[in-house]
Amino acid sequence: MSKKLSAFPCVPRRIISYFGEINFETAGEFLEKARQLDQENNDPITILIDLNGGIVRSSRAIFETLTTVIKSPIQTVITGSAESCGVIIFLSGQRRWISPGARMLFHPITTGTTRGLNIGDLKHYIRELDRDSSWMSRLVCRKSRLKKSKVKKLIFEPGEKVLSEKEILKSKLAHGYWPKQR
């Protein structure tokens, strides 16, 4: 079965919840669940997310695995918020949905390090921050109707920027509201 998503079932049977922080441990656990479901069959997998961010490398590993390794179609649903790296996980869905009140939070990517740095370390971290920020900027542009200038403001300018559910829908970051399940 191809990853074509024209017929996702209304009531998903294959659901993974990913709530909290993205780190190496939670990413490994999450990817193991996705791999197990994918090995069962290639029916769609629904990922419910309420993520408060985390480690960029872990988020990118999840994104790349879901979009290149997992054969099952993926749909993602923001059940609360997709903050920081949570946006990357949300954008891994071929079909993306939000619940009422959903929000997305953007900010410049940080290193997360508190150890003492020398000039060599700083140069390395600056290159890595620029690479990761540019990758995320291209991803958001590709998955939305946001203009490049708006995306640069979201990702590169200091401070946190929050998109409301209406802004998420208007920008086409999400395909619509998640259908109410009965």
> Model confidence over 123-171: pLDDT tens digits?
888 898 899 999 999 999 999 999 999 999 999 999 999 999 999 999 9
Asked if residue 30 is part of any domain, the answer here is yes
Domain tally, the chain: 1
Domain assignment of residue 127, yes or no: no
Please report, for the domain that includes residue 43, its CATH number: 3.90.226.10
Domain annotation covers residue 142: no
In this prediction, residue 112 has a pLDDT band, given cuts at 50, 70 and 90, of low
Residue with the bigger pLDDT between 30 and 121: it is 30
pTM: 0.86
Domain that holds residue 95: 15-108+158-177
Identify the CA nearest to 145 among candidates 170, 166, 171: 171
pLDDT at 124: 84
Can you read off the two tokens belonging to residue 78? 């923001």
Residue 145 located in a structural domain: no
Q: What is the pLDDT of residue 41?
A: 94
For residues 74 and 94, give the distance between their C-alpha atoms in angstroms, rounded to a whole number.
Answer: 6
Domain annotation covers residue 144: no
85 and 67 Cβ atoms separated by less than 8 Å: no
